[in-house]
Amino acid sequence: MQHQALYNEAFGDAEIEFLATQAISETQQPRFAEGKPADVLDNSGAQQIPLDSLVSDGELVELTPLLDAPSYDDPEVTVRETLRDGVLESGMFNGEFYVLNYVYSAWTIWYNAKLFRDKGWTAPATWDEMLALCEDIKAEGIAPWTYAGKHPVYLYDWFLMLAGRHGGVEVVRAIDHLEPDAWRHDSVRAAAEAMYGLWESGYILEGTPGIDHIQSQTAFNEDRAAFIPCGSWLPNEQSAIAPEDFEYMPIGVPYLEGSVQPGLISAGGEEPFVVPKNATNLAGAAEYLRIMLSAEGSQIFGDTVQATTVVKGVVLDNPAAKATDALVADPENLFQPRFRFWYKTMDDEVRAALGALMSGESTPDELIERMQTVADETAADDNIEKFTHDE
């Protein structure tokens, strides 16, 4: 909202109508259908309008001109050059840039540094170290892992990064590109077996498949479980809830033995801002985004919500944010698996399949065959628009 103040400093007589709502699809979809959408829309949260359908319906403005425009602070530098590496990827649909993901976040595994220090544990780097530590953790009466069982989507990046680290980014890219037998790759199988192994060994907090994200995060805050997979926003979200001395620290997914790309991490933009093609004030919309991407605009955001934006050089002074920054330092290792956002049926399927795998309802082989089937069906369906990562 302070962004609007910045906008008004530049355009004194502009009146901005602002609506904050979670019910985005319910309130905004009819406006698209009517042809009178908002100028700028942060299409985020559980009730977002599916981006793939907005793009394939041609309802959005291609934002490359914004990227090539001079940045707000320095006319010599383009907007594109002020952004972090790898953040545009998630807004790309077949090489065209439609969605500006404003907030920078990474999917990591969290642990309580205070608890680990007190017990003399070291945060594991490899899967085997993690398994060895699980025994110690269990011996202390703490469950090694928990996750939001009711929303198995929290397992998605964990699983794909485990596979990607093992076999290299090509493995997960092949999955996104619906390549034949992509799911049957040995690394995917290894990842599925490793995660299934956690269930088999009883390393998951009992009852986890039946709890939601709030319950699992609360259990984690209470040190009932040692690890939880989540995005980098978690410490800020929990800052008012977690105990005073709780120290959120992130690690990348512990990698399997023989991993060829152990630093691979799923990171990129979140909070998708879009400009509808039928917006009344297209120029104003682009200018608003340009102001958001200015140094001042993104620092305001960072200070308010303690989260980094996609703009380089936002300084945050909390240890968790710094540790996350270190994990995403190497641009070669940044990759966001996208098929979940591109193909809705695969999204439904992968969540159900991962949920079943981690509660012992199905085996790794069943998961792989199930996902391969839906991937093949998606690839064969001419009515579904296909997307690729651009290289």
Partner 1 sequence: MRHGKYPFILSFLALPVGLYAWLVILPFAQAFQISLTDWSGSSNQFNYIGLDNYVNLFKDENLVMPAIRHTAIIVVALPVITIALGLFFAFMLNIGGRSRQGRIEGVRGARFHKIVYFFPQVLSVAIVGILWQQVYAPQNFGGLITGTLDLFGLPAPVNGFLADKRFVLVSVIAVLVWSSVGFYLVFFSSAMASIPRDLYEAGIIDGAGRIQTFFKITLPLLWDSVQTAWIYLSIVALDVFVLVYMMTPDRGGPDSASEVVGGVIWKYAFNNGEQAFASALGVVLFFAALTLAVVSLRFGRREQIEY
* Residues of this chain that bind partner 1 (CB under 8 A): 25-26, 29, 32-35, 47, 49-50, 52-54, 56-59, 149-153, 205-211, 215, 219, 344-345, 348-349, 351-353, 355-356, 359, 361, 374
Q: Which residue, 41 or 175, has its beta carbon nearer to partner 1?
A: 41
Question: Minimum distance between the CB of residue 154 and partner 1, rounded to whole angstroms?
Answer: 11
Q: Which residue, 4 or 278, has its beta carbon nearer to partner 1?
A: 278
Question: Minimum distance between the CB of residue 152 and partner 1, rounded to whole angstroms?
Answer: 7
Residue 268 backbone phi and psi in degrees, to 5: 160, -165
Q: Which residue, 208 or 259, has its beta carbon nearer to partner 1?
A: 208
Single out the residue of 289, 328, 269 nearest to residue 92, CA to CA: 269
Classified as helix, coil or strand, 331 is helix
Q: Which residue, 21 or 53, has its beta carbon nearer to partner 1?
A: 53
Question: Minimum distance between the CB of residue 225 and partner 1, rounded to whole angstroms?
Answer: 11
Q: Which residue, 200 or 332, has its beta carbon nearer to partner 1?
A: 200
C-alpha 312/C-alpha 310 separation (Å) is 6
C-alpha 217/C-alpha 190 separation (Å) is 27
Neighbours of 377 (CB within 10 A): 15
Neighbours of 319 (CB within 10 A): 14
Question: Minimum distance between the CB of residue 250 and partner 1, rounded to whole angstroms?
Answer: 25
Instruction: Find out whether 216 and 148 touch, Cβ atoms under 8 Å.
Output: yes
Residues belonging to the chain: 391
Q: Which residue, 209 or 252, has its beta carbon nearer to partner 1?
A: 209
Question: Minimum distance between the CB of residue 372 and partner 1, rounded to whole angstroms?
Answer: 15
Query: 231 is written with which tokens?
Result: 């995005």
CA distances from 158 to 45, 82, 229, 266, 333 (A): 20, 29, 7, 9, 15
Burial class (CB in 10 A: 0-12, 13-18, 19+), 280: exposed
Q: Which residue, 50 or 168, has its beta carbon nearer to partner 1?
A: 50
C-alpha 334/C-alpha 301 separation (Å) is 23
C-alpha 274/C-alpha 280 separation (Å) is 14
Question: Minimum distance between the CB of residue 334 and partner 1, rounded to whole angstroms?
Answer: 27
Question: Minimum distance between the CB of residue 63 and partner 1, rounded to whole angstroms?
Answer: 18
